[in-house]
A and B are shown apart, each in its own frame.
Chain A
Amino acid sequence: MINYLKPILIFIPIILVQLIIVPLISIYEIVPQLILILLVYYTLIGGQIYGMILGFIVGFLFDLFSGGILGSSALAMTVSMFILGYFYNENRIQENTATYSFLVYLLFASIIYSLIYSEVGNFNPDTRLRVILFEGALLPALYTTLFGILVVVFQSKRKFE
């Protein structure tokens, strides 16, 4: 339980930043998912089951605090962390989180997350598939990955020290 408590306490201010500051840097309503960056980091450190449970809790909190559809973010984060969990390797934690492979994992997890979240949140049957795939999933994932560079830089500095 303590394993989950500390990250959750870290995630709460990140949710605040996501809802208050991140919309200010949106490009055509496309925003980076800061929560996901941290979640990917924790999954690559803690493993598949840990990532899934943490993803569900954080996603649920995000749904509660954002006024969105209850369960949509929880579902998207759980599934994306389940798939990402297959890349967890306890012998390669440092390489996975402090090198550019972290960005590849982040991009992959972001695409899955954004795809599920967009699909669940979309009520219009006329929405074109390419809009969901490109503007709903790929572009937010790329924007999120751009912010993931900060984690890689920070982690590689720590490794160097």
Chain B
Amino acid sequence: MINFTQKILYHFKEYFILLSLVLVSLFFISHSDNPKAKKLKAFALANFAIVEDFTSSIFSIFIKDESIDELRKQNAKLMLELEKSRKAKRENEELRQLLALNDTSKYPLVAANIVSKLANKFQSNFIIDKGYNDGIVKGMPVINSKGLAGIVMDVTKDYSVVKTLYNTSLNIAVNVRRTNVNGILNFNGRNLIIKNIPTTYDVKEGDVVVTSEFSTAFPPFVPIGIIEKKELNMLGLLHTIYVKPFSDVNTSSFLFVIKVVPSKQINDLEMNLIKKP
């Protein structure tokens, strides 16, 4: 019996090895969000990111300019304020000063360099050189000087992983600014799309798409992009909307983390509502 088992194991050893390796891989895939797996990932990331940071700094040594960094930061701040002002102006016009719900708080920004990129068609991630030592927390939104870039997914002491707009696992509550139509934006491997928008809704090509007030992950009114085209579904009742992003996330080398955690956003909003008579 033992001989027979040994023979089987010997003759089919490649299949047994394949099976065990596949099972281990599947175990890790299914337990990717497990705290222990995250701990292991954070440990590896923290150590390897130091080497990545050093290597990428060698490449950028000749183009590094502090004044450019500062200007980019100012640009990102102005972009956020401009978007809020536009929203406030539109609200003021609509409500004729009966309501004033615009939030006047300013978002604190943390500038970060991209250390490395996982360039992939379906799971695009960046590693940035800011971690919980800089006050970064999982779930904080990330922008560049033109608009939304992604969200902080994992945080270590000095580095963080950012899930970009071009990641199929990221779903964002968005709003078409002109007509206040809400939807969910995601990446389908080729385009950023908003699905299931009724054809009766007033949505035009060229309309600006921003993050929605209903989003629990992102602060409201962060610009994302413009509507590029609309596509009717088979029944002709719903539209799929294609969004062209403002920010070319994949060519960015510099990002800003908005130091706002989702729960604080909800708290601020609730506080604003309580304050109003």
Residue ranges of A at the interface with B (Cβ–Cβ < 8 Å): 16, 19-23, 26, 29-31, 48-49, 52-53, 56, 59-61, 63-72, 74-75, 78-79, 82, 85, 117-118, 120-124, 126-128, 131-132, 135-136, 140
Contacts and interface: CB of A to CB of B under 8 A. Distances in A.
Considering the complex of A and B, which 5 residue pairs feature the smallest CB-CB distances, nearest first? A71-B28, A75-B25, A67-B161, A64-B44, A19-B116
A161 to B, nearest CB: 32
Nearest to B191: A131
Contacts of B45: 64-65, 67
A75 B115 CA distance: 26
A121 to B, nearest CB: 4
A29 B250 contact: yes
A69 B18 contact: no
14 contacts: A20-B116, A20-B117, A22-B119, A26-B250, A52-B18, A66-B116, A68-B125, A70-B40, A78-B21, A121-B120, A121-B122, A126-B193, A127-B168, A131-B188
A42 B166 CA distance: 33
Interface of B: 13-14, 17-18, 21-22, 24-29, 31-32, 37, 40-41, 44-45, 48, 51-52, 55-56, 59, 115-125, 127, 153-154, 161, 166, 168-169, 186-190, 193, 195, 250
B40 to A, nearest CB: 7
Contacts of B41: 64, 67, 70
Given A16-B51, A19-B52, A48-B14, A121 B123 contact: yes
B22 A78 contact: yes
